[in-house]
Amino acid sequence: MMRSQKEKMLAGEFYNAADPEIQADLLATGAWLKRYNDTLGQTTEHWHELLSERLGEVGRGTVIRPPFFCDYGFNIRIGANAYINFNCVILDVVEVKIGQGTAIGPAVQIYTADHPHDAEQRQAGLQVGRPVRIGRRVWIGGGAIILPGVTIGDNAVVGAGSVVTRDVPAGAKVVGIPARVANPHKQA
């Protein structure tokens, strides 16, 4: 039996994002985001209640400060006591997993959405997703960009403005464009 475009998307295979089922999910998330982003003056408890409506998992004590933006929401899983500051963008065509106690600065962008390198596949409207996994107690500085397929280990630090193009080992500090492990012996 043929798999739907949504099933292909969720499996990390090439899919066509113009598919009606996928477009309906985007519209539903857009309506939810409007509701969520209109709650800036509300309590964190109210935010948590709304997050639980749309996200795949949202741990106890987790805060996402509006405005917040995502593609679907149901592919996002966040552990307990995580904190995501204003203007975070998560393109969640496949799973984004954020561990407990992780803190994400303002304007961070997390991308699972990718496009084929072949021009004809791009022209045909194909897209693909690669999951992003962020460990426990990670700190991601403001304005950082996490690219598709990246895993960030527990207790790692990503410097503000960094572009993370490859996996970050547990406990490492990475900075720059592209992000590289910081030299702990170099003086500032």
Output b/e per residue, 143-179; b: 16+ Cβ within 10 A. bbbbbbbbbbbbbbbbbebbbbbeebeeebbbbeeeb
DSSP state of 94: S
Three-state DSSP class for residue 73: coil
Among 46, 48, 115, 117, the active-site one is 115
Torsion of CA 40, 46, 48, 51, to 10 degrees: -70
- Give me the DSSP letters along 146-183: E-TT-EE-TT-EE-TT-EE-S-B-TT-EEETTTTEE--
Are residues 147 and 157 in contact, defined by beta-carbon separation less than 8 angstroms?
A: no
DSSP state of 110: E
The pLDDT, as a whole number, for residue 188 is 45
Distance CA 59, CA 56 (A): 10
The pLDDT, as a whole number, for residue 121 is 87
Are residues 138 and 157 in contact, defined by beta-carbon separation less than 8 angstroms?
A: yes
The pLDDT, as a whole number, for residue 8 is 95
- Mark the ranges of the chain whose per-residue pLDDT is less than 50: 188
The pLDDT, as a whole number, for residue 184 is 65
70's tokens: 């995502």
Q: Is 115 one of the catalytic residues?
A: yes
